[in-house]
Each structure stands twice: as structure tokens, then as C-alpha cells.
Structure 1
Amino acid sequence: MQNQTLPGRLPVKMLSVAIGLALAPVAAFADTPTTLDKIEVTGSRIRAADAETRQPVLVVTRADITRQGFTSIADILQNLSSAGSPPAARSDALASGESVGGYYVDIRNLGASRTLVLLNGRRLGATTSGRQDLGQVPMSAVQRIEVLKDGASAIYGSDAIAAVVNIITDNTFDGAELNASLGQFSQGDGRNQQLSLRVGTQGDRGGMSAALDYSKEDPVWAKDRWFSRHGDAGPDYPGSGWSGVGRNGSHCNPCANGEDIKAADARWWTLKDGGDPANPTDYRPTDARDRVNANEQMMLQTGIERRSLFATAWYDLTDNVRLEGEALYNQRITDQQVAGYPLSYDVPANSPFNPHGVDTEIVRRLWEVPRTTRSDLQTFRVSGALKGAFQFGGRDFDWDIGGLYNRNNLSKTGHGDASKLALNRALSPDCGTAKDANCRPWNPFLPNGVGGPGALSDPDLQTFLFPYFTDTGTTSTTVYSANLAGALFDVPAGEVGIAVGYEHRREEGRFVPDAFKQSNESTGLAATTTEGGYALDEFYAELSVPILRDLPFARELTLSTAGRHSRYSNFGNTLNSKFGLTWRPLDELLVRGTVATGFRAPTISNLYGGAGSSFERYTDPCGVGATNSVNGNAACNAAGVPLGYVQLGQNGVPCTGYPCQTPDEFINQSNLGLKPETSTSRTVGAVWSPRWVDGLDISLDWYQYSVKDMIIADSVGRILRDCYVLGDAARCGGIVRAPDGHISGLTYGVANLGRMETQGYDLGIRYRLPELAIGQIKLDWQTSYVSQYDEEGNNAKGDKIMIGRVGQVGDSSVFRVRSTLGADWEKGDWGVRYGLRYYSAMKESCVPNRPCTHPDRFANGEPDAIRRVGSNTFHDVQVRWQAPWDATVSVGANNVFNHQGPIMFTSPGGAFPYYAGFDFGRTVYMKYQQRF
């Protein structure tokens, strides 16, 4: 980092870039122009010399951003070696709620809600689930991004458990700049385009700048990729993942008079080719030809469109007081499509289309009308501050008073789920008669593609059965703050620095599902309203005490400490602290260490979320087809599961692939009694810049995190394992089984039952070679090694393991090693950047009827068969040219060799058998930047 004075006639002591928090003090105003040797960095509110190396902070510069082919801030951060699995991946086609379409980051695999995101030092607004969308900020406005890979709740409050990401905008830009880019996958799809304009002007007493961005990414369809077009098991198992609820429709007969439709003697029938749907003899037994590959209608990657405007301004009211302000508007439109709904419905005996004259159950995928969702999220954000400086007792102090308001308005429009009210009318004998003239009759026995009275291909019938559903949501964040920082007194080793401050924050949120969902009168998933809020007041203090300086093997020895007291309106008080030690035995070697406590407050959806339903994919351990089946043990027998039971999937057909999707809705809900998560983080590291190798910097850090009282969303698989495998009867209470043994109902929620520990190492090597005849070469190699990642949980009594996922290193997303290498060459007007992204081998739990490399493996005292796959490496290349008319032209490719990851049968992070964090193909692109 370098120092400079701001443009203008006022003498200012200020940083060249706004690395420090916007809530931290602005540089002091003095009598003569001065530059400082003290800087502000993310992780501390006290300015200090060489502060950028005192904590494990990774800096991503504007040059790093422009010289890569990624389209968002989140894409850049997702490719950090310390990043975990992508939260809310765009390949999770079945995702719903507020988070869809957002760009989030997860550091250390601790979850996106445990990484705090700041914009110029102030919190971004969050969804009711606590996720902060990085895509709100126009990329053209970003000057740099700092990632503090350490706990920092003592400095920033809740959510700063794993890391803090601080996005710094260029508020001193002077001039104009136009950027345009165009790219797509080499398969010819997934086209992305971006256009941005940045303008700014700076004067003696004030300045302003603005950035306007537009971006659009087209969807990618599952049928257009080798790993997703064949169903959920990949190309080597065609048809094995297909749905038993076909587009042609099947009905059960005999199924009348309350007979169990899943009974062994029940038969399912489908209309013969050319058959008369009114003739009971024109139906044949349903067979494999009636199954359907739902992926033919599903998006692999959602389409997304963004419009962003960011503006900032500053004005010097006096020689010692500055007024600053920021405003942001962002609109995010996301389009999703999944296959037509797999309907299971009773056709009444008196329906004119019922050929049997008795109540008959029919199952039919509504193939003619795929389910679509358009999410429109608009963000409005304003912030401002008065900042200044004064002297007291001959010492300089900085102060600021500021405020922030952030509001997200969400509207989700869905289509493709049928109204149950309309279905009942369409199947009644009065539909279309004088008694119900506005009704459109439906014949569910007609297969897809077959015309005739009541065919679902009729546009009028589709309009009648499929209304548009609208969900709405609003979240808001309001912050008021005051901060003061300076030097208290001198000690032999230097100044004792201090920062103190106060912050008031209020979070409010509301998400209202459509009335049809709330009343369960549509074929979509039922849901109720989420609504709530809380307020908090926080006080913090930070102290930096130099102990030794300029002594042999103690060029510097500094102790830092910070504490933050938070009082929440809903759960009470919490106090968090942080201690740091910096030791510089030699000028070129710095040793650093921190110990910090942290917390994460329950989110609005954790506390006040409405109940929701879902059709879950799971493996029933009581089924004989399951890997490590316990069919016949005491717990399964007590639940009434018969010997030889095979888990039933959609349409009540026995599962042949696992996990298998339930034919019944399960209920998940919030928990008003949640308390905050607590954490402890530790880091020890060293930064070495050998004096005999100019331009070389090497850093090595060890980290350890321990999180207790984790708020975990219970899962169906976890509950079934606890109940039937581990024999914990307390976990069986919410499971409802039908007489034939299949699970017909399950209720679960969130609780403070989790705990986890992880540790590992980060190695960073940056080398700027001396300029040679062949040009300037820069190398940046970042590697993360995870030595431990264990997650466990207790039941409500705290005396039995609930999760038992010890030894998760190597699981999809918890890679043992992730490494990135960036090599940049520049000579004259030309430059080339080469990037490498390495992921070590993965493992996954074995599923029945699929390859299993270690079928006899045991872990934690129980069978734990796993499948291992090898490592993966992706290569990126960009070539750039500085044009004589002050422009830059770049062309490049991400995953230039079109590397394909392995099939992952457990579909980690998405809805398809592929790790969601890997590239879906080769992306080629071109960028143009024009400066004025």
C-alpha cells in the first residue's frame, strides 16, 4: 500500500485507498500537507504502521478482477483457495425463497451466514436467512476487496465468525470509463453480457463519482450437459434417475373404497396408443416406457439479469470536517424452470371422464406446463457520515458519526402449479355446464400429446388450471454509529492507540407466500408467513499497546485487544473479545497470532420463519435397498416396518436409485427459542519478505475454529439415522409411517444442536520478478490445506451424538487441498494472465446400485461406505492489449481445456450429479475498456 494526499487545497492526511472501514475515522486535517505512514485495514479500527500484515488479510485488487473472466464479485471470491461450496448455487434448480439468484460467499466452509460482508466498512443488507448478496455492488465501482480470514465479532459484531469481506469502492475516481464484455460457454449457451459506465469528478473541496452496471446471463439447460441430461445418475446409468410419475398419466385400479393404493396387488394403468379413454378395456399396465426424465425440462443454471447504480460524494464543510454519502440501487431478476408438477390426485366417481365409475387416484406429470419462477429483488441503500479530526493534549483524534438504511423488496411470480380449487371444478360433472359455465373440463386420463376433449394442451384449460402466484418480501437494516480513535499516550516502544464506539442496529423482515400456498390450495409447496425483527445496541473498545521496538530480535512487539458488548432485544447480552500479538524479530520477518471469541445471532427466518413443506430426497435405513440397511432391527420393527420393505418413491413405486424422493410432503419450521451461536478462533502465522530476493513475500498461517450451539437445520436423513441406526427413541417422535411401512409424514426444524471444529493452513507466495528483457512477470500462488473438519450435534438432552460427521475432510466442498496460481506477464502494450485452480480428491457416501470404491469402510463405529474420485484442475487464460486510444482489449477462456469433473451421485450443492462449484464447460469471452 502507498500513501498520498487527496486532491484539493486542504491539507489532508489520508490513505491512497479506502481499506479502512468507513465507520473508522477519516484521516486528520493538519496545518501543512502531510502523508501518513499509518494505514487502516479490515480487522482493526486503529491506524498503524505496517498494519496490512498484522492479521491474515487477503487483498484482491482491481487489476486482479479485470484480468479474470468471471462475471461477479462472488465468482472472484468463490475461487479463493479458502472458499467453501457455493451457497445457493445457480445449479440448484429446485432452490426457492429469497436467496435464489443471489451471489454469496462461504469462507472456511462455515456457511455464508457466518461470513460478514461489508461495503466500505458498513454491513450489506441481508435476507431473512442472514445471507448478504455480493452482486448488489457494481463491479465497475470496486477498487479492491479485502478478506480477513479470521473471527472478528469483537470488531464488527454478529456473523463475523469465519471471515469478513470488505468491498472497497473507488470514491476518488476522476474521469470516465466504459466497460463491455461478452462471453458464453463453448457449447454455445449460457451467454453473458455486461456493460458498465463509470464517471467521476474531484475538486478542491469535494468530489463525486457514479457507476452504472447492466449484466445478463442466459440460462443453461440440463438436457445440454452430459452429466445432467440422463437423469440423476449420469450417462452411465441412463433412465435410472427418471421419475415414476410420467407425462402420460397412470391411474390405480382397483383403488376404491379406501384400499391402500400402495398395496402389493394394486395395479397402475395407462391409456393404450390410440385407445379410447372412456373405455376401461383400452388401458394397459404402466411400465418403464411411461417413466419420464424430468431433466429434459429443467434448467441446469438459472438465468439472471442485473441493473445497478452506485454513487458516492464527499464535501469538506470546514478544514476539519468532511461530509460523505453513498447511494445504491440494484435490481436482480432471476428466472427458473423445473419440470411440470408430478400430480397425485383423486378423480371423483362422478367425473364425466372417469371410466370406472369409482373414485380413482391418478398420477400424472403436468408436462404441458413446466413450473417457472421469476424473482425480482430491488435493493435501495443510502448511507452518510460526518468525519473529522481534532487535537487534545497534543494528540490527534479522529471521529465520525454516521447512519445507514438498506431495504430489499422482493416479488416472486410463479406459474405451473395448479389451483386445487380449479382442479376440483375441472373434474366435476358440472364443469362446462350451465351450473358452472366458466369452468374448463379436464380429462386427466389423456396422455401428453394426445388431443381430445379436456386435453391439457388446450390453452384455455391451462389458463383455468394454472394461475400466477405471487410471493412478496421485505427486509430492512437500519444502523446509527459513532466512533472515536486516536493515541492515548506514549510508552518507550511507541504510541498506545485506542478506538471506541457505539452502534445501534435494527433488522426487520417479512416474507409473505401467495394466499394459495398459505391455504394449501395449490399443488405447490405449502408455506406460511415469515415476519419479525429485533434491535440491538453495541459498545466496543480496541487497544493497541507497543511493548518493544528496535531491539535485537524485537524490531517490534505489539499487543492488541478488543471487546464488544451487544445487547439484543430478543435474547439478551453477549460479550466478545479478541487478542492479537505481533512480533517482528527481523525487519523481513513478522510473526502474528490472534485469539478471538465470536457469535452469530439467530436470523429472522430462524426465529420467526413460517412453516414450509417439501418433497425430500432421502434414504430410509429401514429399507432393504439402502446402503448399510438396518431392516429388521429393533427400532425398525418397533415402527412397524415389515421385513423386506423397500423404500417407496414417487407414485408409490419402489426406489431403484438413492437418495429417493418422497411422495409425501414433509414439514419444516422455525424455533423461537433459539440462542446465538458462539465460536472461538485462533490463528498463528508468519510473513517473510527475504531481503535478498526483492519482490518476494511468503505467508503461512495456521487457523482453528470451534463453533458451539450451531443453529442447524435438521435433515430427514439425520433424523432417520438417529432414530433407526443409533437407536435414539427421542428422535423418532416426528416420524409418521403408513401401515405398509413407508414414511408418510415428518416434521422437523432448526435447533442449537450443532457443533463443529475445523483447522488447517494457508500458504501464500507472491513474487514480482525483476523486470527482464522479456517483460515483467508476477506470480501469485495461494493454497489452503484443511487438516480437520468435524461436525457433530447432540439431542436436546445433550448426551447423544446426532450428526456424527467426524472426518469430513475430503467431502465434496471440504477439499483437503485447494490451490490457485496466477501468473501474469506484461511487456509494452501486451499482457497475458494464466490461472490455475486445483481441487484435491473428493469422497461421497455410497448410494445403492452405484459404484462404491470402499463398500466395507467403517467410521465412528458404524458402517460408512464411501466412493472416492480423483483431483480436478481447471486452467484459465487471458490475453490483453493496451490500445493507443487509451483502451484495453482482452480475450480469454475460463477452463480453457474444457475439463469435466466426475459424476457425483449425491449431487453436492445442486440438483444434478456434479459438484456445483465446478465449471460446466469452457467459457470464452471478450472485454473492452475505454478510458476518457
Structure 2
Amino acid sequence: MNLRTPALRVGLLPAGIAIALTPAFASAQEQSADQNTTTLDRIEITGSRIRGADVETQQPIITLDRQALEKQGYTSVADVLQNLTSAGSPAISRADALASGEDVGGYYIDIRNLGAQRTLVLMNGKRLGATTSGLQDLSQIPFAAIERIEILKDGASSIYGSDAIAGVVNIITRKRFDGAEASVEYGQYSQGDGDTNQYSLTIGSQGERGGVTLSAEYNKQDPVFAKDRWFSKDGSLGPNSTPSNWSALSQNGSWFGPCGAGGADAWCTLNQGGNPSNVADYHPITSSEYANANQQMMLQTGIERKSVYVNANYDLADSITFNADLLYNERKTDQQIAGYPYQSAAFDTPLSADSAFNPLGEDIDFRRRLWEVPRTTESNLKTLRFAPTVSGFFQMGEHTWDWDVGALWNQNDVTKTGHGDMSLIASQQALGPSFINADGVAQCGSAANPVDLSACRPWNPLLPYGVAGQGSLADKATQDYLFPYFTDTGRTKTTSFTANLSGSLVTLPAGDLGLAVGYEHRKEEGRFVPDAFNQSGQSTGLAATTTEGEYQLNEFYLELNVPVLSDLPFAKELTINVASRYSDYSNFGDTINSKFGFTWRPIDELLVRGTYAEGFRAPTINDLYGGTGSSFESYIDPCGANAPGSVNGNAACNAAGVPLGYVQLGQGLEPCSAYPCATPDQFINGSNPNLLPETSKSKTAGIVWSPRWVEGLDISLDWYNYKIENMIIADSVDRILRDCYVLGDSTRCEGVTRAADGHITQMFYGLANLGQMETEGYDVGIKYRLPEMGIGQFNIDWQTSYVSKYDEAGQNAAGENITIGRVGEPGIFRVRSNVGVNWERGDFAAAYNLRYYSGMKESCITLADGWCDAPDHISNGESDPLRHTGSNTFHDLQVSWKAPWNATIALGANNLFDHRGPLMYSAPNSDFAYYGGFDIGRFIYAKYTQRF
């Protein structure tokens, strides 16, 4: 692959495109030379542009038909796909209530744990619209409109272009539906929360030449709160059963100074029933008075979706068909996290000596959780999609050629409304001079120069939560003054025009030589504008700036399917498939990616297959043109005296002004007792306009065996290997600090700012093509349809994925290149296995599914005093104590009955036995001590479907 090759190197591709654009019109149905004879439709399988079922077996593809989808108790595409054994950890799952930005609220799928942005999602063969980060939201597609889902577990950039590194998910919608179907589903967790309601209607009418199908759907899933689950209600429990993540920034408020009569300086909080104006009524705050933020946080965010999908098709002539998809979707996602942990020192907003609420008479620093106003975000997304296509066929000699010309317009509009972050402009005034007026009301300003109450409301941060009084945050007028509503807006557009031609060039002794050629022009535009407060940094919210950019590209592809041998001893079939795609981007240049595959069938019942594919992922709008963002990072400061690998006192730390013996400071400027440790200050991150595409190579090899002496049995085994280079990753805080202070690279210190006490107050880190990784493993599938018996018909489907390697490249503390093996980490399971058993007898049916996850491991450097079962573990020459947990199995069951009035009634439970996963203190894919991809309780549901 070459990113800077001239267009002339594509060889035969322009000629192929010229053929594709020839105005030859035909219908979607194949006709023989005898025009009175019509044969079956030739279908296009995901992973190949050549129509014909003989291509399907060349690559590892899973197909979920509508019947399989209805046997699961899920109401979204993403939830179904997340249970594939090859699926990785959910990206920005509903368990990530703390997540922020444009992407929050969407449903995404990640194949092979290579990242959701490296799995391409299609709808009827055309791309979904993506966010500026390149994520494709599966919640756009109404469940009721789906006919089947095809999942290609192989790289396919040569066929589909960028992003198809890990695989391709193609969602095929219903067409030519005749009649009506209405469905109602209701479910909730056995704890009595997380209510889910879904209502859908599909109607269609077909005539001799075409028809219309409409699917409408409404879905609402209520949130689940962390306080209502065993693993999250009290926070993470440490080795001594003490909540390890409770915050010293209490909702009761505290200030630094002398506590009580003649007391020493400490962080002081008000005695119960005490007078907030009397210094003697305060005492040093204790850990029992710390804030448990989980009491206000959502464990699982709420979501509401409304969608309408319409498909219209019409045979313009015997050989020409017009088809159009129209989709409108609205999605609303609700998040809630605990009130902001306000620190006056961080914003230089002390309680003024002239405040009516100041007990000392001098400026004092304070800390307080803004408990009265939890932080909430409502994310609204509106999607409008229109995809028209004209397709057909024509005869060229004895061969039939299919063609299509199409377009796509997809627009996503997002509006995010936030509340609960405080205006720093308002807080500075509310904490400034104030007095008690003649009416006994606290008022900003002074008696000589008062500020009208409509323009300012004094705030008493020392007044504990739940205690009434002047300046209380519980006062509605004070809340309205201090807490404005923040609005972020965004829009992304995808526009594409395509032309495809496929057919048979000649008939070889072993069969037809298949050819597909095509062209695509695509334009991606994106803009995300944070609220003006966030852009200015004048609020407690995370600072961010505008992301805006666009790029366009032209692509040509060529695919050949060459039959080499057939009907010979040990060569019932030998077919080779070759594809290549040339992509020319307006922002970085061009690239060619190719793929080679083969199918060999030595005997009728055994098939051997394999592929080798090059792939790439173009940098997204956010990667290239993203604004700056901010976050509170967890990291290890090598200049900290107690930090692992400490270099406190070396030349680089001394030059930065770090005191000898300095201990890294965390939240609340408290000394860190565990590492990595969260920063008390926001760090800034940003984009990089000079990024190049990620590149990949993938290989697969497998067998499919259908023994003739066991009818209905199919066994498959596939090996895969992916290697990705030039991965776009965030230049991490730890990497910068190591380069600066351990390796002595002064150029890496430029973005680091420290306070006089040594702690890092500001830091900038951006994106770079610094990453690389490799994964390898096996997929095993066993499907068996048993002979029909008196007790009914049984079908067994057993799918297993085994990950033998998942390695990322990195550096150790000495700056040496190392390999980080991550197999066994939460989400990167060594083994995932699903066993499905379906039973049918007459009008009754039952579907049972078992989901198995092998054990997990996590770093336990923060739990080293007894909770590590491998405290002496060494990785790449460095201490890496580990904690291991056992395997987990979840059971699902659905029973159904087909009623005489053409209805189906189903009852089911996911996680039937209410299995609990283990505590995971690293909070993987979650904000809590639990893996975000596991069930959080038994979910019970009922579904009624009526057909007309």
C-alpha cells in the first residue's frame, strides 16, 4: 500500500468504471435467453460485490435472520450484536454516565476489540452516517424494520473502503412486505427498575410492479441508578471494606482554617445544628462525612427513540427497478452524575472576607459538593436519511450483468442540553461582598452599594446540604442564578454517489469468471459547537472548543472471482477471489488496498477457505480538525516520591521546581495513597491535522465440515490474525511525563505546568500515529438440526471465540519498546461462548441461550495489601501485580405461543438466574466497580405480536 501513488497506477480500474457507467438498463431479476423464463434473484453477499451465492462461503460470515432476532429479549440492534462471541467491549456503553461529548447516547459495535471506529456499519450496503469521531450509531435503525443482519468477521477495505478493518455489519431491511404487523413489548429488571417499553408497526402493500413498506417504532428505556445495585451503591470497597472512592469534597461543605475554639488549622465542617457564622461550631471533617457520589449517579443511562422507515420500489420497466430508503429517527439520552465537586482554589473564587456568610472575616478557601443540583445532560439526535437506487440487468451474449447507480444523503443533528455545572462568573459574584438588608435578606454588594437581587444571589457554601438558611443552594432563585443551562450543537453530513457493475466475463472450464467494478464519490462534513460557557472556560464544566471540517474522496474498485477447478478428485471446487480498491482523499492523499481469498472443496462435505487483506482507516474530522477538550486524568507522576518508578530529585524534576520528597496530589489536593491517581485539575487534549491513515493486515483461514452421515450438522473452525500499525491514539499523560522526567527529553516538557508545591496544574496532549497492536484467535461454530421427534424439533447453535493474542506496543519506564499482552482483561476475554437451543412443537416454542465469559484480570497496584492473588507478577521487567476473577455464565430463556388469531405471545428473561459478575475495581467500560458489558440484574419481559 502506498499513500502517495498517482492515480495512473490503478491500471484497469478506470476502464472498469467506464463499463460500469455504460447506460445499459436491466431489472433486479435474472432472465435467461428465453425471455419467458425467470430464475431466482442473484443476491449480493456482504464482503463481495459479485452477485451469486457461491461467493458466500469464502469468508467467515454470520447471518441473523428475523426469526433469530425475535427470539431474543432485546430491543436494539446493538444489544443483539453485543452478544456475538466476537464482539468486544461496548464503546461508550450505557454504563458510562460520566462520558461526555458528541458521541454519548449512541449504540456502537466493536468487532474483535479493535475499536468501534474500525468496524464499518452498512444499511442495505450503504454507510450509516457517522459522528465527527467516526462512530456509527446503530440506534438509528428501527428494530421492526430489520429483515436480517450479516456480519463479516474479516477486513474488507478493498470492497468498502475506510473503516472496514475489523469487519463489516450490514443491516438488511424489510422490502416488499404485504400486510401489517404490530408488536408491543414491556420489560423491567426484577429489582423493579429499568422499565423498557417498545411499540412497533410495520405495514406494506405490493402490486404487480412495486410497493411500499413502512415501519414505525417507539422505544423507551428508563435509567437505573447506582444506589439501587449491590456493586455500586456504596462505591468501590477497598481491602478493609472501606469505600475507596468517596470524596473529601463533602456535600456538607468545608473550609480551611482553625476549627472550634482555639483549634488548629484543618478542613472544617459545620456541627449538626450549629451556627454557620460561629467558628466555634465547626469541627475537622471526618471520612464518615465524605460524599458518596454514587448515590446521585445513573448506573445505566435512559434512552428514548422514535423512528420511521419507508422503503419504496417500482419496476420502471422489465429490466429497470427503482428502490428508495427513507429513514427518520429521533433519539434522546438522559445522563445524571453527582453534583460538581467545587474547589474555590481551583477557580480562584474564595469566600470573600466581606461576605455575610464568612465566619473568619478574611478570604477563605472552601470545598463543597454541589449536591442540590446533580449534573444532567439530555442528548437529542435527529437523523434524516435518503438512499435512492436505480438497478437492473442486461444480457451480454450468454452472460447476465447486474448494475446499479445510487446516492445517499444522511444528516445527523445533535443538541446536548446540560445543567448542574456552575457559572464561574455568577459564583464569583455570589461569593463576593454581601450583606443582610433591612428586610433580613442576604444581598450582594454592600449597604452603600447594593446589587439588585434580580442580578445577583449570595451563596453560602459552608451551609450543609439539607440545612435551610440564607444562601442555601436549595433555594430555587439561587439555583437559577448560579446554574445556567448549557447547549452544545452539532451536525454531520454524509453524501455519496455510487455506480456498480457485476457479471460474468467468460465461462471457464470450472465455471463463470465473475467480475465487479465500481466507483464511489463521498463527502463527509462535520461540526460540533460546545456552549459558549464551555468554550470560554467560565463554568465548572469541561472546557472544549469547536470541531469543524470536511473532506471528500473518490474511489474505484475491481473484484474478480476466478473458478480454477471443479468436479475433480480432491478438487470439487477451487476458486480464487481477488479485489483491489483505490482511494483518493482530499486531505491526506491516496491509498490502494487489496484482498486475496480462496475456497477449496476437496470433497463435497468439506470446505477450506482463507483470506489475506490490507485495510486502512482514514483520520476522522475530529482527529484532524477537532477542537480542544478537557478531562480529569488518572496518571503516575514520576516526580512523586512515593510513585512507582519514582525519579524524585533527578535533574529534570529539580528543573521543574518539584520539591524533594514531593508526594503526588490528587482530588482535593490530598496526597495520593494509590496509583494511578486522579488529577485535581483539568488537562487539555486536542487534534492533529497532520495525521495519516491507520493501516492493517488481516489473515483468516478456516474449514467448514458438513458430514454426510449426520444430516443437519455443520462444523466450522476459523483462525484470524489482525495487525494494525500507525494507530491514531491519544499521546498519553503517562507517556509524556515518562519522556520528560525519566528519559530527559526536554521537548516533551513544554506542555506541562506545575504549581509551587510541585503538582501539575496544566497539561496538553494530542493525537498521534503512535499505536500498533496485533490480535489473533479462533472461532468455532457447531450447528445441528436434530431429526424431528415426537416431542418436537430441536436446533442447537454453539459459537465460541478464543483469543490467543491481543498485544499492544508500548514503552516501559526506561523508554524501551515492550509488548503489552492484554488477553484476559475485562472485555478481552480469552474465551467467549454462546450455546443456543431452540425447540418447536406445533404452536409452541422455546429458546434457551447460555452466554459464557472466561475469567478476567486487572492490575491491583492500588489493592496491593492482600487483594492481589499474583502480587509478584512481572511484565516486561516491571512489577505488575494482578488480581484474577473467575468465569461468568448468564442464562436467557424465552417461551412463545402462536395464537389461533395470527398472533404470537412470548415471555422471557435475560439473566434468568440473576447471576452477579465479580467486583472489578478498575471499573472497566463503566464508572463503577463492575464490567460494563455484564448484566446488572434479571430482566423479565413480555412481547405480543399481531399479524394482519
TM-based fold match above 0.5: yes
Q: In structure 1, what residue type is equivalent to 2:836?
A: G
Cα distance in structure 2, aligned partners of 1:291 and 1:530:
38
Secondary structure (helix, strand or coil) at the match of 1:210 reads: strand
Counterpart in the other structure of 2:825: 811
| Conserved? CA contact 1:405–1:476, under 8 Å | yes
- Alignment-derived partner of residue 544 in structure 1: 561
Q: Tell me the CA shift for residue 286 of structure 1.
A: 2.4
Residues 627 and 846 in structure 1, CA contact (< 8 A), matched pair in contact too: no
Query: What is the TM-score normalised by the length of structure 1?
Result: 0.93
d(CA) in 1 for partners of 2:520, 2:911:
45
Question: Which residue matches 1:436?
Answer: 451
- The yes-or-no answer on 1:181 pairing with 2:185 is yes
Distance in 2 (alpha carbons) for counterparts of 1:524 and 1:744: 16
Answer yes or no: is 1:842 the counterpart of 2:844.
Answer: no
2:140 matched residue in structure 1: 136
2:85 to 78, 81, 86: 81
Structure 2 residue 905 is matched with structure 1 residue 889: yes
1:558 aligns with 2:557: no
2:318 alignment counterpart: 319
Q: Deviations over 1:56-80 (max 9, x none)?
A: 0011111111101122110111010
Report how far residue 201 of structure 1 moved: 1.4
Partner in structure 1 of residue 502 of structure 2: 485
In structure 1, the partner of 2:598 is: 581
- 1:860 corresponds in structure 2 to 876
Give the whole-Å Cα distance in 1 for the aligned partners of 2:538 and 2:823.
44
Which amino acid letter does the alignment assign opposite residue 555 of structure 1?
K
Query: How far 1:195 sits from its partner (Å)?
Result: 0.7
Among 909, 913, 928, the alignment partner of 2:929 is 913
SS in 2 for 1:76: helix
Q: Which residue of 2 aligns with 1:741?
A: 758
Q: Residue 638 of structure 1: CA displacement?
A: 6.1
Report the residue type matching 1:663 in the other structure.
P
Which secondary structure state, in structure 2, belongs to the residue aligned with residue 34 of structure 1?
coil
Structure 2 counterpart of 1:386: 390
Q: Distance in 2 between the 1:654 and 1:187 partners? A: 39
- My pick for the range that moved more, 238-247 or 540-549, is 238-247
Equivalence map 1:664-813=2 (5 Å): 664-720=681-737, 731-793=748-810, 804=818, 806-813=820-827
Matched with 2:352 is 348
Task: Report the counterpart of residue 30 of structure 2 in structure 1.
Answer: 28
Q: Does 1:646 align with 2:660?
A: no
CA distance in 2, matches of 1:88, 1:632: 40
Q: Deviations over 1:572-615 (max 9, x none)?
A: 10110001111111111111111110000001111111101112
Bigger shift: residues 246-255 or 446-455: 246-255
**Cα distance per residue 1:732-791 (max 9 Å; x no partner):** 443333333322222112110000111111001111111111110000011001111111
In structure 2, the CA distance between the partners of 1:486 and 1:381, relative to structure 1 (3 Å rule), is same
Q: Report Cα offsets for 1:793-813 as digits up to 9, x if no partner.
A: 479xxx9557x4521111111
Please say if 1:419 is aligned against 2:423: yes
1:515 and 2:532 are equivalent in the alignment: yes
Cα distance change on mapping 1:32 and 1:724 into 2, 3 Å: farther
2:523 maps to what in 1? 506
Matched, 1:217 2:234: no
Matches within 5 A, 1:19-168: 26-29=28-31, 31-36=35-40, 39-168=43-172
Residue 446 (structure 1) aligned with residue 463 (structure 2): yes
Q: Deviations over 1:77-108 (max 9, x none)?
A: 10100000011111111001122111100000
Cα offset, 1:270, TM superposition:
1.7
Q: CA 1:821–1:478 in 2, change beyond 3 Å: closer, same or farther?
A: same
Aligned counterpart for 1:199 among listed residues 197, 200, 203: 203
Cα deviations by residue, 1:457-499 (Å, 9 ceiling, x for unpaired): 1111111111111000100100101111111112211111111
Shift of 1:364: 0.7
Question: C-alpha displacement at 1:440, in angstroms?
Answer: 1.2
The one-letter code matched in structure 2 to 1:251 is W
Aligned in 2, Cα 1:853/1:733: closer, same or farther, shift over 3 Å? farther
TM superposition shift of 1:645 = 3.9
Give the aligned partner of residue 281 of structure 2. Answer: 282
Per the TM alignment, residue 725 of structure 1 is displaced from its structure 2 partner at its CA by 6.3
Compared CA separation, residues 623 and 228, structure 1 to 2 (3 A): farther
Query: In 2 relative to 1, CA 816–629 (structure 1 residues): closer, same or farther, beyond 3 Å?
Result: farther
Query: Is contact 2:165–2:616 with CA below 8 Å preserved after alignment?
Result: yes
In 2, the alpha carbon distance for the partners of 1:639 and 1:32 equals 86
- Measure, in 2, the Cα distance between the counterparts of 1:571 and 1:723: 31
Partners of 1:217 and 1:547 in 2: CA distance: 54
Distance 1:746 1:569 in 2: 32
CA distance in 1, matches of 2:111, 2:379: 26
Tell me if the contact between 1:61 and 1:145 (Cα under 8 Å) persists in the aligned partners: yes
2:834 to 820, 844, 850: 820
Query: How far apart are 1:302 and its partner, in Å?
Result: 0.3
Aligned to 1:899: 915
Deviation at 1:51, TM superposition (A): 2.6
* Deviation (angstroms), 1:523: 1.1
**Cα deviation, residue 234, structure 1:** 7.0
Q: What is the distance in 1 between the residues matched to 2:747 and 2:804?
A: 34
Asked if 1:410 is matched to 2:414, the reply is yes
Give the stretch that moved more between structures: 720-729 or 765-774: 720-729
Pick closer, same or farther for the CA change 1:189–1:267 going to 2, 3 Å: same
Q: Against the structure 1 CA distance between its residues 513 and 37, is the aligned structure 2 distance closer, same or farther, given a 3 Å change threshold?
A: closer
Say if 1:732 and 1:811 are closer, same or farther in 2 by CA, change over 3 A: farther
Q: Is the 8 A contact 2:30 2:39 kept in 1?
A: no
Q: Please identify, of 216-225 and 850-859, the stretch whose mean Cα deviation from structure 2 is larger.
A: 850-859
**1:629-662 superposed Cα distances (whole Å, 9 cap, x missing partner):** 6666776566555555433222112234554322
For residues 181 and 27 of structure 2, what CA distance do their matches in structure 1 show?
A: 30
Match of 2:22 in 1: none
Range 283-292 or range 459-468, more displaced: 283-292
Distance 1:29 1:435, change over 3 A: farther
Q: Over residues 869-893 of structure 1, what are the superposed CA-to-partner deviations in whole Å (9 max), with x where a residue is unaligned?
A: 1111111111111111111111111
- Secondary structure of the equivalent of 1:144? strand
Residue type of the partner of 2:516?
A
The alignment partner of 1:848 has SS state of: helix
Q: One-letter code of the match for 2:901? A: W
Q: Which residue of 2 aligns with 1:297?
A: 296
| Aligned residues of 1:628 and 1:863 also touching (Cα < 8 A) | no
Distance 2:533 2:506 in 1: 66
- Structure-1 residue corresponding to 2:270: 271
Cα distance between partner residues in 1 of 2:654 and 2:26: 63
- CA RMSD in angstroms, aligned pairs only: 2.2
CA contact (8 A) 2:223 2:300 kept: yes
Answer with 150-159 or 350-359: which moved more: 350-359
Looking at structure 2, the residues matched to 618 and 722 of structure 1 have their Cα atoms a distance apart, in angstroms, of 14
Counterpart Cα distance in 1 of 2:929 and 2:503: 55
Structure 1 gaps of 5+ residues are 1-22, 256-264
Indicate if the aligned counterparts of 1:271 and 1:277 stay in contact, CA closer than 8 A.
Answer: yes
Distance 2:642 2:791 in 1: 63
Any idea what the Cα deviations from partners look like across 1:333-381, whole Å, max 9, x if unmatched? Answer: 0011000011112223332322223222111111111111101101000
Unaligned runs of at least 5 residues, structure 2: 1-24, 345-349, 435-442
Partner AA of 1:682 in structure 2? K
Aligned counterpart, 2:584: 567
